[in-house]
Amino acid sequence: MAKQILIIGGGVAGTIVANGLCRQVKSELASGAVTITMLSDSDKHMYQPGLLYIPFGKIRESELYRDQRKLLDKKIAFFVDAAKNIDVDARKVTTASGKTYGYDYLVIATGSRIRPDTIPGMTEGAHWFYDLDGARKLRDALNDFQGGKVVINVNAPHKCPVAPVEVTLMLRDFLIAKGVMDQSEITYTYPIGRLHGLEPVANWAVPEFQKLGVKSEVFFNTKMVDPKAKTITSEEGVTLPYDLLITIPPHSGSQVITDSKLGAGGWVPTNKLTLLREGSDNVFIVGDTTNIPISKAGSTAHFEADTVVDNLASLLKEQRWSRNYDGKVYCFIETGMTTGTYIMFNYTTPPNPGPPSAMVHWLKLSYNRLYWLSARGLL
């Protein structure tokens, strides 16, 4: 009887697990001892970090997408059929089409989604770049922008924790190049008492923002947006006027997680070392879907996926555990249109961003292309 591996989600985490595992269990796939099946809600794979460049006209939309079937190893059975219910007790997953899939090992990689609808007025009054439609609208708004007050508003929880800093610094360069920075004012708001969740990044951002004239408002958790008055108000009682509001909306996990009662907010309780669902020995959680207190980011998903691949391969081939996830995260940080830096950390070693350089900026631009090798399990 073949061991069935079922992967839910065709984003970075699910795709790396699928392709990486194919490379590790080639002979078992060929003999029929193992099968790998992926369920996704889309036939396209998006490189989400590329969305940051859309509002500034720095990347073509087509560069963000690949056909998911072509990205996957041919031995993977791939179905565009979203999971609607996950029953971990009965070991079965039911999909939108009504089909039911069983499994020996399940990998849940259903990701996260933006929820501007959870804050009154945000959908109507704000722009964002965390999905393609929002990024296009922000690109149009920036093309029309002739100067004024810009508020960059960060909400919790959200994925890609460095993106708000990146968009702030890139926006300033964009407005300078457009010739309207002298008539503009940028204010950055953050939910906690410093500019970033990571203290070293916050400490680095303070002098950067001061030097560049970017204002900030900390302890700002958004209560409401008034699109008519063009104001944004925090739970802490501060109201800011804006001409252009760029928000990083709060996120939640996938609906199928809450519908299946696997975790509040769509985040599944997960062992931070094994990446197994709490209470399961055959259900791996990977990427944004976990409730692990760690950055929800593509690189987190990538390194978690590598860990899951090693463990699934060892369990299938040698019935043993391979290794634990060490919390590794690596993020490039654009510090404008021509420079960048990076941070790397794990559960025991804090990050320490270095001085920005043109070289790191070009490395990031290069990785925007190299990503497709990561998705194929090659890099």
User: Of these, 265, 315, 322, 330, which contacts another protein (CB under 8 A)?
Assistant: 265
161 touches another protein (CB under 8 A)? yes
**Shortest Å, Cβ 162 to another protein:** 9
SS3 label, residue 142: helix
Interface mask toward another protein for 323-352; x: CB under 8 A: ----x-x---------------x-xx-xx-
353 touches another protein (CB under 8 A)? no
Which residue in this structure is represented by tokens 């995260």? 329
**Shortest Å, Cβ 219 to another protein:** 6
**Shortest Å, Cβ 330 to another protein:** 12
59 touches another protein (CB under 8 A)? no
Number of residues in the chain: 379
**Shortest Å, Cβ 293 to another protein:** 4
Interface mask toward another protein for 285-304; x: CB under 8 A: --------xxx---------
Q: How many residues make contact with another protein (CB under 8 A)? A: 31
- Of 52 and 54, the one with the shorter C-beta distance to another protein is 52
User: Of these, 2, 177, 264, 379, which contacts another protein (CB under 8 A)?
Assistant: 264
207 touches another protein (CB under 8 A)? no
Nearest Cα neighbor of 125 from 300, 242, 16 is 242
- Of 179 and 350, the one with the shorter C-beta distance to another protein is 350
Which residue in this structure is represented by tokens 């204010």? 187
Cβ contact 299:286 at 8 Å: no
Distance of CA 16 to CAs 10, 108, 216, 241, 335, Å? 9, 13, 38, 43, 28
**Shortest Å, Cβ 70 to another protein:** 34
DSSP 254: -
- Contact range with another protein by CB under 8 A, out of 61-69, 75-83, 173-181, 192-200: 192-200
User: What sign for the dihedral angle of Cα 260, 263, 268, 269?
Assistant: negative
Is omega for the bond preceding 164 within 30 degrees of 0, making it cis?
no
**Shortest Å, Cβ 44 to another protein:** 29
Burial of 137 (0-12, 13-18, 19+ CB in 10 A): middle
- Report the distance separating Cα 128 and Cα 143, nearest Å: 15
- Contact range with another protein by CB under 8 A, out of 53-61, 69-77, 166-174, 186-194: 186-194
367 touches another protein (CB under 8 A)? no
Helix (H) or strand (E) holding 79: strand 77-80
Residues 6 or more apart whose CB falls under 8 angstroms from that of 62 comprise: none
377 touches another protein (CB under 8 A)? no
**Shortest Å, Cβ 33 to another protein:** 38
- Of 78 and 190, the one with the shorter C-beta distance to another protein is 190
259 touches another protein (CB under 8 A)? no
Cβ contact 127:244 at 8 Å: yes
Give the neighbor-by-neighbor strand order of the sheet with 100-102: 83-87, 92-95, 100-102
275 touches another protein (CB under 8 A)? no
Helix axes 12-24 and 358-375, enclosed angle (nearest 10): 60
Cβ contact 221:155 at 8 Å: yes
Residues 6 or more apart whose CB falls under 8 angstroms from that of 131 comprise: 51, 114
77 touches another protein (CB under 8 A)? no
Interface mask toward another protein for 89-128; x: CB under 8 A: -----------------------------x----------
**Shortest Å, Cβ 49 to another protein:** 16
358 touches another protein (CB under 8 A)? no
Cβ contact 2:34 at 8 Å: yes
- Report the distance separating Cα 99 and Cα 314, nearest Å: 30
Contacting positions for another protein (CB under 8 A): 118, 156-157, 161, 191-193, 197-199, 201, 219, 221, 235-237, 250, 264-265, 267, 272, 293-295, 327, 329, 345, 347-348, 350-351
